Amino acid sequence: MAFFWGDNPDLVTVNDTVFTTEDYQNWWKEWREKDMPVPESPDAFVDWVLLYQEAGAMQLDQNPEYRKKLAIFLKVRALMQLKQEEVASRTQLPDDKELWEAYRKEYTPLFNLRLVAVGSEEQAGVVQRFLADGVTLVDAVKAAGLDSVADQLESTGMLRAQKLPDPIREAVVEAAAGTAGGPVSFGHVWYFFEVLERNDGSEEDFAKLKNELIRQSLKVQENQLTRELTDFLAKKYQVTVNDEVIARITPEGISAADAEQVVLQIGNTVVSGDAFYQAVLKEQDMRGGTHRNAEAFETTKKRIVADAIAQTVTGLEALDRHYESRPPLKAIYEFYSQHRLIKELEKTVIETTIDLKPEDAKVYYEGHPELFSRGGIVELAIVQTNETELAEKLAKRLKSGEDFFKVMQPLSPAGIETRRSPVDHLNPVLQEVVAKMSPGQVSSGIPDGEDIFFVKLIRAGEREFIPFEKVSEQIVTQLREERFTTAKTQLIEQLRSRSTIEINDRAWNKLKKRLAEEGEGNHGS
């Protein structure tokens, strides 16, 4: 018997199955679309229940395709829930002290440098001796006879130390402003430097980078928590790795004996040597590594092992926790499983009843000409000019009754073409004029900015039809959708006629009011 005063009263009973207001709210949260108003009745929910109950009675939940889709959905969503529970929820926002330390380490100091590149070791030695005698870098370069280099002395602008090549960064990182030094060998060149400016960080620069620093801190925490979770689960699921066989797998291949060996076992999942080798080759190809050198091959092997362990153990653990049996995944999982059941019912029962013959589309096309044609088509001749005096002379000749095409010949010696066009495709000035004209009528001297138009309306009020070939697929899709909707409606009516349905009107009205108020609040925010 329904009760009225609890927090979660019974709302509807369908074939002896009771659904509460919470059941409806969970369904509504997943089913509704953006800005959709709350329904006036729970009929849509009842129809939903009737359809998935019928699918269950037909044992469509045993269909392999249904079970496969449900398993994929659960695996993905459970894994998301595991990562939220074990990783994301355990990260902590770093405080300003931690962020400032990270800022000083990763983004400071900043330097404005004068860099001089010298092409030979002998020249570098000369510049170095002048610097040792206390000569400035500019004068040292000139004194060394490197005039072409001296003419090109420029500052780098403020650069973070981390952006400098390693040898140069190591040479300047402790240098104060005004310091000169070198040579620093980098590539095939010797560099000398002068620190024009040095900035060890500022509150303003820190503020600009704060969000990025927070993101980096959270990422580091997530990576650490993920490693800890993977290590814990690897022990729980007794992961074993055959390092000896893996070590013998090289870019040259794998022996027949090792190909049959188990190189990785995680629970009931086993990976053979050959499967592992093929995975390594595929990974290298995906990364563009056709050369497969030994070092890259070893790196890929380690990555394949680590990824396989992490993905498998987290997947096993996610399913083992049965998140689908408790919030927040429970309601989402139930909705999806019911949705997929209804899809199976539609495919098995409804779609098989749709009888759509090839000629049906043609019959529909011919029976609804208004849907595949456009009115307001006019045939007309238009001549345009910006010669005012000539236009005035031609307008007088037209008013005297002379033939339009003969009068317009000076403006179009090659002949005047006529064209068909929807009125609304003409420019606004011509639209207004043509709308008032009758077939055969001429309108002359229509000004539009610097241009003057002459128009002869030949025909009006015609319809332009879209060829059947261009809309046949669209019609077939439409007919299929319409017949599908009709068949689904008929099925629901049949299910309703043989079902027992009870609705707690008082609970519904109260729920409807609350959902409407919540919707307005969410919309307003």
Give residue 6's pLDDT.
54
In CATH, the architecture of 109-200 is Roll (3.10)
The answer for 466, left when phi > 0, alpha when psi is -120 to 50, beta otherwise, is: beta
Give residue 152's pLDDT.
57
Question: Do 377 and 421 meet the contact criterion of CB atoms below 8 Å apart?
Answer: yes
Give residue 460's pLDDT.
85
SS (H, E, C) 458-508: EEEEEEEECCHHHHHHHHHHHHHHHHHHHHHHHHHHHHHHCCCEEECHHHH
SS (H, E, C) 216-256: HHHHHHHHHHHHHHHHHHHHHCCCEECHHHHHHCECCECCH
Give residue 525's pLDDT.
40
List the end-to-end C-alpha distance of the chain, in Å, as a whole number: 39
The type of residue at 298 is E
Per the DSSP assignment, residues forming a β-bridge with 191 are: 117, 184
Cα separation, 197 vs 174, in Å, equals 13
Domain with CATH 3.10.50.40 in the chain: 109-200, 373-465
User: For residue 493, with 0-12 CB atoms within 10 Å meaning exposed, 13-18 middle and 19 or more buried, which class applies?
Assistant: exposed
Which residues does 403 contact at the CB level (< 8 Å), separation at least 6?
none
Token reading at 282: 């595929």
Sites in the chain below the pLDDT cut of 70: 1-7, 147-153, 289-292, 520-525
Is 3.10.50.40 the CATH number for 373-465? yes
Which residues does 110 contact at the CB level (< 8 Å), separation at least 6?
158, 159, 160, 161, 197, 198, 199, 200, 201, 205
- Compute the radius of gyration of the chain from its Cα atoms: 40
- For residue 191, which of 120, 110, 136, 115 has the smallest C-alpha distance? 115
Token reading at 264: 């990785």
Run of H or E residues at 455: strand 451-465
Give residue 291's pLDDT.
54
**For 291, phi and psi rounded to 5 degrees?**
-75, -30
Token reading at 120: 């030979």
Give residue 522's pLDDT.
60
Question: Do 411 and 453 meet the contact criterion of CB atoms below 8 Å apart?
Answer: no
Cα dihedral 314, 316, 321, 325, rounded to 10, equals 120
Which residues does 63 contact at the CB level (< 8 Å), separation at least 6?
344
